[in-house]
Chain A
């Protein structure tokens, strides 16, 4: 195969695997936003918390990866469920800004607690995929990246089936569209909201466990949130398919910008995309239009 093409494909694969993480995080954000109209600025910190918990289980308690992964996901999901139930519910009815501020405050608390509890050093944990690569002809892909792409694919499909086919999933959709109507239809709205948050927490935990082997277990993992915001905006706010598409595109853009764009643009190209999209086409690719009826 042509060397140029190989390089392009290699870049594309790398971009997609990073983008898959962004997509997963963006998906979690979209779920909570659609259900409770709160953009959870603590999502990145939940991801970071999960990675530390995972590290603790794998390295501290010597649990195997395949046991630590579901355990971490379950723990963080429960914690997020309780978070919605105990804290976020109290600001229902207040303007959106209150939700932003509250989640930012919670993010700080999680970050501070983890920093105090675990200390500032970066850590690492081993997964069954670390250090192995697979060859597809001339292409070399790290097993970890394959695992990420695979996991995100499976989770996305499972989530869409869940939302469309199960009664709980349909209830979640109903609550996301019109809370009052859902309540009048007999859906336990408060419970569903907490469940959605728990689900989002689970997604964040999965993303954290998949990302940490690449970028180390470190407080700065929460930064993924910001890239995922760009993904949300690009894909279209309030759209779950948009979150996926946006995440993958941002991953690809970053990957190619690293090679073909001047300087260190790669670090900030996601933010440039965010600003440009919001200014030129605020709806994003698959998003909904906004407007107030007076």
Chain B
């Protein structure tokens, strides 16, 4: 049994079939890429997995646990974290606060203990801060630690969002176009980070990507989608050479 499995997912918005029988499996510790033209339903897959939408049919299994009908706020607790295509950071807060919010799913004391700044609350804060500082070190965010997210450069904001997702200590990380808007240097750094995430943190990564060179370099296996249906799946080289994929997406 694979670590993460999506089986026959189907979702329709009115008459539009966003997902039409999507299935794939991901092994533990793997980097799995999903590619395809715009409107293929790639982000919809992530949205269904993270319960933004409820699937019409099919199921989602993480390590044997059925996530298909999980309440939306329990997704993080089950070990799934995601980033967003258009950055969804907390603009009014600092980088540190954004990362600390990633720790929300862990034990942090009640209302009263927070209001009175009890010893327990202080201990929780110290613990959260320590974990977040490791991430700041890992992602080189130290210079931006206390700055408001709103004024930061685009590349840094992408990294902050990645950090926030990692702060939840996920087992499965879903990245939605992590390299979009990044220059080649930042993309190379991203590739190294994804590698480190997989090897050092032991996190399984599923990423939606348009940058084929990044996909070739980082991904173990690839799924190509079009119009809500899977087209081809396999190693990056095999998928990129597949006739249907070239016709629908890559171009000859």
Interface residues of A (CB under 8 A from B): 294
Contacts and interface: CB of A to CB of B under 8 A. Distances in A.
B114 interface: no
Contacts of A294: 43, 47, 52, 84-86, 88
Contacts of B86: 294
- The 7 A-B pairs with the shortest beta carbon distances in the complex, nearest first, are A294-B84, A294-B88, A294-B52, A294-B47, A294-B86, A294-B85, A294-B43
Contacts of B43: 294
A98 B90 CA distance: 19
A118 B86 CA distance: 53
A294 B84 CA distance: 7
B27 to A, nearest CB: 28
A294 B43 CA distance: 8
Nearest to B86: A294
Interface in B71-93: 84-86, 88
A293 to B, nearest CB: 9
B169 to A, nearest CB: 23
B52 to A, nearest CB: 7
A294 B86 CA distance: 7
A106 to B, nearest CB: 26
B144 to A, nearest CB: 24
A104 B88 CA distance: 30
A292 to B, nearest CB: 10
Interface in B127-165: none
Nearest to B82: A294
Interface in B84-104: 84-86, 88
Contacts of B84: 294
7 contacts: A294-B43, A294-B47, A294-B52, A294-B84, A294-B85, A294-B86, A294-B88
A294 B47 CA distance: 8
A294 B89 CA distance: 12
A294 B52 CA distance: 9
Nearest to B176: A294
B245 to A, nearest CB: 26
B235 to A, nearest CB: 30
A294 B46 CA distance: 10
B151 to A, nearest CB: 16
A294 B88 CA distance: 8
Interface string B40-65: 00010001000010000000000000
Contacts of B52: 294
Nearest to B46: A294
Nearest to B88: A294
Contacts of B88: 294
Contacts of B85: 294
A294 B177 CA distance: 12
Nearest to A294: B84
A294 B85 CA distance: 7
A11 B84 CA distance: 55
B150 to A, nearest CB: 12
B46 to A, nearest CB: 9
A167 to B, nearest CB: 33
Contacts of B47: 294
A224 B231 CA distance: 59
Nearest to B85: A294
A176 B88 CA distance: 26
A288 to B, nearest CB: 14
